[in-house]
Chain A
Amino acid sequence: MSENNVFLLDGEEIPFTPGQTVIEAATAAGKYIPHLCWHPEFKPYGSCKLCTVKLIGPHGGRLGSSCTLAAQPGMEIENRTPEIDDKRRTLLQMLFAEGNHFCPSCEKSGNCLLQATAYELEMLSPHFDMFYPDRPVDASHPDVLLDFNRCIMCALCETASREVDKKNVFAMGGRGILGRRIHINSESGRLADTDFALTDRAASICPVGVILPKRKGFAVPIGARKYDQAPVSAQVPGDAK
């Protein structure tokens, strides 16, 4: 690594190896860039837009997704500024208003990346009128429950199932707010009619409360859950996940 391979993130020097994206280099250096759909094991997907940063130099104030932005020497990047965090909060509010995120009864509460990110960015309300979607729950599988009303369409389950499990159980499909969602690749559209298993990588990768193991909920005491202990920004790179 040449010593020129450095960029500035909120004024701090971040080293990188050529080919790394901004979020990869920042995470390796222990710096937190908010994100939901990015996962270090997989290629960037680019749907959540939470990792948006501002390029001060050399391209003068342009916004870009740090998960797809290749790190280059001499870049000057703003990350945790009030301006960018404000835009991120709006994105979170859109996600919360779009789904049924009733945290008080969700088994993923305290271990949910969406929730933890909203805490990190001090989101106090969804701000927008609620959408209240009505997508049926799929409880057909003996070991796994799917609640699509909590899906943020990060597509990590689709990618993990295709690339790691080699099963191709999930598929992102449909158009627009009413149509677009994760579908199950079986003739019936039910999870029970696939070879999906609780041991699959896709079963544990969901950052929110869509893919849940049955009969395992509420096992961790309040106070001991992942994000009870420390905010998401303090769990980097562990929580780059």
Chain B
Amino acid sequence: MSATPSPPKKLRVATTSLAGCFGCHMSFLDIDERLLKLLDLIEFDRSPLTDIKHCGPCDLGFIEGGLCNAENVHVLREFRAHCKILVAVGACAINGGLPAQRNHLDLRDVLEEVYQTEAGLSHGGIPSDPELPLPLNKVHPIHEVVKIDYFLPGCPPSADAIWKFLTDLLAGRTPTLGHGLLHYD
């Protein structure tokens, strides 16, 4: 009785957006019909594209966005605890990105400006419900909090760069990005 060979085990992949704009996820979806090919090789764990609430044991974690509040830090640590390989995707995860331009401003001034003093507001005050995560004083890249295994730069990385990175990784190669795929903007 010959058993049919079981299909190769799929890699489990989790993704999340911290202080991101979801642009890196959109650029990931820009691989278009290659996504169908990819789904033969991977299955998704926690991701904005699935309904899974917490990250389980995964082979690969994709993080877009930097760290701007306490919840971002909790999510990042959950990913680090469960993902064998953690990838910082996009400028924000790598160096804080454009959100880190708030780092030269005082956080209280920023919150007062947008919730209290700006003309046209009803002066309701800065939201203080404990349900809301407190913002960090500064925006940080994710490598300042957990160890990151790979960096995939770009704002966002192009679909071709993401595809090259994934196919390199799935084939067991160290991912490399040549001219045209490696960019920071």
A102 touches B182 (CB 8 A): no
User: Which residues does chain A contribute within 8 Å of B138, judged by CB atoms?
Assistant: 132
A146, chain B: closest CB distance, angstroms: 16
Decide if B176 is an interface residue (CB 8 Å cutoff): yes
Q: Within residues 113 to 155 of chain A, which ones have a CB less than 8 A from any CB in chain B?
A: 115, 118-119, 122, 124-127, 129-130, 132, 134
The yes or no answer to B88 lying at the interface (CB within 8 A) is yes
Minimum CB distance partner of A228 in chain B: B180
B103 near A: Cβ within 8 Å? yes
Given A104-B155, A125-B143, A125-B151, verify A119-B91 contact (CB < 8 Å). Answer: no
Q: Is A100 on the interface with B (CB-CB < 8 A)? A: yes
Give the size category of A's interface with B: 20 to 34
Binds A, one of B3-11, B44-52, B75-83, B92-100: B92-100
Label chain A's interface by main secondary structure.
loop
Q: Is B20 in the interface zone, CB < 8 Å from A?
A: no
Whether A125 and B184, one on each chain, are in contact in the complex, defined by CB atoms closer than 8 angstroms, is no
A106 CB within 8 Å of chain B: yes
The answer to whether A109 and B185 have CB atoms under 8 Å apart is yes
Contact, CB under 8 Å: A132 / B103: yes
Q: Are B185 and A126 in contact (CB under 8 A)?
A: no
A231 at the interface (CB under 8 A from B): yes
Task: Note all chain B residues with C-beta closer than 8 A to A96.
Answer: 95
A105 located at the interface, meaning its Cβ lies under 8 Å from any Cβ of chain B in the complex:
yes
Query: Which residue of A110, A119, A122 contacts B176 across the interface (Cβ within 8 Å)?
Result: A122
Assess whether B91 is in contact with A104, with CB atoms less than 8 Å apart: yes
Knowing A125-B153, A129-B144, A132-B138 are in contact, say whether A102-B97 is a contact too (CB < 8 A).
Answer: yes
Specify which chain B residues have a CB less than 8 angstroms from the CB of A100 in the assembled complex. 100-101
Please state if A106 and B179 are interface contacts (CB–CB under 8 Å): no
**Cβ–Cβ contact A102 & B179, under 8 A:** no
Q: Which residues of A contact B152 (CB under 8 A)?
A: 124
Bound together, the chains give a CA A96 to CA B88 distance in angstroms of 17
CA distance A104 to B101 in the complex (A): 12
Complex contacts, A109 vs chain B, CB 8 Å: 184-185
Complex Cα distance, B158 from A228, in Å, reads 14
Task: Tell me, yes or no, whether B12 is within 8 Å of chain A by CB.
Answer: no
Chain B residues near A130: list those with CB within 8 A: 95-96, 100, 140-141, 144
The reply to whether A102 and B104 contact each other, CB–CB distance below 8 Å, is no
CB-nearest residue of chain A to B66:
A130
Interface residue? A103 (CB, 8 A):
yes
Separation in Å of the A183 CB from the closest CB of chain B? 19
Is A49 close to B, CB under 8 A?
no
Q: Is A101 an interface residue (CB 8 A)?
A: yes
Measured between beta carbons, the chain A residues less than 8 angstroms from B104 are 132, 134
Min Cβ gap B97→A in Å is: 7
Question: Which residues of chain B have C-beta atoms less than 8 A from A119's C-beta?
Answer: 179, 182-183
Residues of chain A contacted by B97 (CB below 8 angstroms): 102, 104
Give B153-174 interface residues, CB cut-off 8 Å to A: 153, 155
Q: Could you list which residues of chain A lie within 8 angstroms of chain B, going by C-beta atoms?
A: 96-97, 100-106, 109-110, 115, 118-119, 122, 124-127, 129-130, 132, 134, 228, 230-231
Q: A124-B151, A130-B140 are in contact. List 17 more A-B contacts (CB 8 A).
A: A100-B100, A101-B95, A101-B184, A102-B91, A102-B98, A102-B100, A102-B101, A103-B185, A118-B184, A119-B183, A122-B176, A122-B177, A125-B95, A125-B143, A125-B151, A130-B141, A134-B104
17 residue pairs bridging A and B, Cβ less than 8 Å apart: A96-B95, A102-B97, A102-B100, A103-B183, A104-B97, A104-B155, A104-B184, A109-B185, A115-B184, A115-B185, A119-B182, A125-B141, A125-B148, A129-B144, A130-B100, A132-B103, A228-B180
